[in-house]
Amino acid sequence: MQLSEQEIRRRHEREQLQSKGINPYPSELFPVSAFAKDIKENFKPDSGEYQDVYLAGRLMSRRIMGKASFAELMDSTGRIQIYVSRDDIAPGDDKSLYNEVFKKMLDIGDFIGIRGYAFVTQVGEISVHVTELKLLTKSLRPLPIVKEAVDEQGNKVTYDAFTDPEMRYRQRYVDLVVNPQVRETFIKRTQLTNSMRQFLNAKGYLEVETPILQPLYGGAAARPFKTHHNTLDMTLYLRIANELYLKRLIVGGFDGVYEFAKDFRNEGMSRFHNPEFTQVELYVAYKDYYWMMDLVEEMVEKVALDLHGTTEVQVGENKINFARPWKRFTMFEAIEHFTKIDISEMEEPELRDTAEKLGIRLDPKIGKGKIIDEIFGEMCEPNLIQPTFITDYPVEMSPLAKRHRSKEGLVERFEAICNGKEICNAFSELNDPIDQRARFEEQLELGRRGDTEAMVLDEDFLRALEYGMPPTAGLGIGIDRLSMIMTNSNSIQDVLFFPQMKPERPE
């Protein structure tokens, strides 16, 4: 193992601590009773509060001044200045805790626990006067230290920032320490899912769990990850969606079920795609896609208000307003609006010619539905910045959606597009088992033509439909993409703690 000079020194310090009888990794709990943010926001001199507190966190800076020192402690809520006096933490004759341990054997990044009392320094900074100090964890690898200075014009300048995206995503544990503002993104992501849970629970819907390992993959057009179960000697797939299992629960008698699901698709990666992603799927009996559009508007508007206190969210250069109602286009209306071409009556050969004239390169294996989807994706989607519902898709694109009640060749489906990308997909669910079997068989034919994302035929799901599924509205919302929008993040990797990465090359 190649060690830097600092890493060698820290390992030596670890040995010195042990030789002095100090365990660098003690087991005992430390009785934390206060946090940096609380003290800085609430402490008032002469209030009598915060006069005997225990704090723990990383040592992030030190200014040693002989018998006393100032340092910075960072806990989960932020940083606070601490004042360490030799005679306070080492009151007897033995001053080694200060002179040797604190001054010479502690480093930036070490975890310490302190006991002390809050006070205000002469320059007006709320700090903690340390009366007891204990090492909780010795850090053996130095943190990348971000330095700040003020230039001649009075502007704050940052040096040695930990900004390389690959390093930040690969070493998120370091990113969270040295770029604490990153934590806010993930706090907001959790607030987002909590807001949606509260909304769905208040409606009386049941949160459930369905299998991740599935004998057949289904519920979406995507390539799966494949594995093998040794005991059962059978091939299994990581789910690409949980739709077909949730519909089985509607067959079983639940009126409304939802699941926050980890799904997996063996596809390309981009700033909008990660092979492992999160979505919430919801199925409600006796409803249709018109009803579901209203619910999506209501829920996402609530999320924006819960996270930001307003329906307006800044995303890059755009201010997106989630206030109801949202704009609505049929898919063919949207394509005609942005291309001035009506494709609603075109068959596959004419659609291919039209796509080529629009400069869209097509895979020769894909069929009519995928061609229409490619035209929409290239010519319409990037232009839809404000939240917009796209409705009434061709039946070839939607093998699990119910045929439209009044428009031949279409299905009752919508997607919500926002900031140029799909954030949700929903149907009036197909519950005719004969029609569903025929759609699955059409998908099998596409698979034989070479479409690697075509669906497979699920006999057990068809059996469930044959027992009868009530009219049902279904919905899937991409949590990662919605989180990108709600946190003004440019990449899906920014809203995933540990995004998938290429193998790390050894140094």
Q: What is the pLDDT of residue 454?
A: 85
Tens of pLDDT along 298-322? 999 999 999 999 999 999 999 999 9
232 HSE (CA, 13 A, CB side): 9
Bridge partners of residue 79, in order along the sequence: 74
pLDDT over 90 (residue 366): no
Percent of the chain with pLDDT over 90: 86
Mean pLDDT within 241-269: 96
Q: In which band, very low, low, confident or very high, does the pLDDT at 154 lie, cut at 50, 70 and 90?
A: confident
Q: 433-440: long-range contacts (C-beta < 8 A, 24 or more apart)?
A: 433/462, 433/465, 433/466, 435/403, 436/399, 436/400, 436/461, 436/462, 436/465, 437/462, 439/395, 439/399, 439/400, 440/399
Tens of pLDDT, residues 191-242: 999 999 999 999 999 999 999 999 999 998 899 999 999 999 999 999 999 9
Q: What is the pLDDT of residue 176?
A: 95
Does pTM top 0.85 for this prediction? yes
Query: Does 267 carry a binding-site annotation?
Result: no
- What is the full DSSP assignment across 308-374? HSSSEEEETTEEEE-PSPPEEEEHHHHHHHHHS---TT--HHHHHHHHHHTT----TT--HHHHHHH
| 249 three-state secondary structure | helix
- Structure confidence by residue, pLDDT tens digits, 200-213: 999 999 999 999 99
Of residues 164 and 128, which shows the higher confidence score? 128
pLDDT at 452: 82
Residue 161 has pLDDT above 80, yes or no: no
Residue 290 has pLDDT above 80, yes or no: yes
- Cβ-proximal residues to 339 (8 Å cutoff; 6+ apart), any chain: 358, 375, 379, 380
Q: Is 7 annotated as a binding residue?
A: no
Residue 13 has pLDDT above 90, yes or no: yes
Residue 131 has pLDDT above 60, yes or no: yes
What does the pLDDT read at residue 128? 98
CATH 2.40.30.10 fits 5-137, yes or no: no
Q: Which class is 182-326+386-495 in CATH?
A: alpha beta
Q: Residues 6 or more apart from 219 whose CB is under 8 A from it?
A: 239, 240, 241, 242, 243, 244, 400
**Residue 160: pLDDT band by 50, 70, 90 thresholds?**
low
- The secondary structure of residue 433, as a DSSP letter, is H
Structure tokens, 352: 């291919």
Average pLDDT over the chain, rounded to an integer: 94
Alpha-carbon distance of 39 to 373, in angstroms, equals 55
Q: Report yes or no: 405 and 371 within 8 Å, Cβ to Cβ.
A: no
Domain ranges within the chain, ordered by starting residue: 5-137, 147-178, 182-326+386-495
